[in-house]
Amino acid sequence: MHDEEFNWELIVHRLDSIARHQECTTNQLTLIEGKLTKLETMKHSVDDLKSWRQTIQDTVSVNELKELRVWKQNMDEITSPTQLQGTLDDIKKLNTFKAQALIIWVVVQGIMGLLIFFDKIFCVHSIEINNIIIHISLGHLTTFFFFGWF
């Protein structure tokens, strides 16, 4: 009986030892799986970088870069970047002025059209003051109003 009891204790001890080793092995496998996942992520990142590099190389060739460098040197001989920016600002101001002048011209033409329209409707008016008849034509007033001072 004593031998049987000893064998059972030995078996239980061995099973505990195997369980601990299995737990350690499981932990190590989990760590290895985590590292593999990181490596796969890094591999995808490297593949993405290679793909991006190839796309850039396909898009911009070395000759195009040389041509761009020559063009920039020629532009630097013509004007400096600050002068170029100043010129672009002046162009923007001129475009704004052009738009404002066009709007003002359209408004003035509209007013002139309305005045001519009213002149046609109200043709000639006569006013008698102290036996003097004054004929007023709206068209003459507009002509005097817009061109009388010039």
Per the model's pLDDT, the better-predicted residue between 78 and 133 turns out to be 78
Higher pLDDT, 47 or 140: 47
Q: Are the beta carbons of 105 and 96 closer than 8 angstroms? A: no
pLDDT, tens digit, 9 for 90 and up, residues 112-148:
888 888 777 765 555 555 555 555 555 444 444 444 4
Handedness of CA 133, 137, 142, 148 (dihedral sign): negative
Residue 118: name the closest of 127, 107, 128, 110 by CA. Answer: 110
Return the pLDDT at 137: 53
Query: How far is residue 84's CA from residue 116's CA, in Å, rounded to a whole number?
Result: 48
SS (H, E, C) 8-27: HHHHHHHHHHHHHHHHHHHH
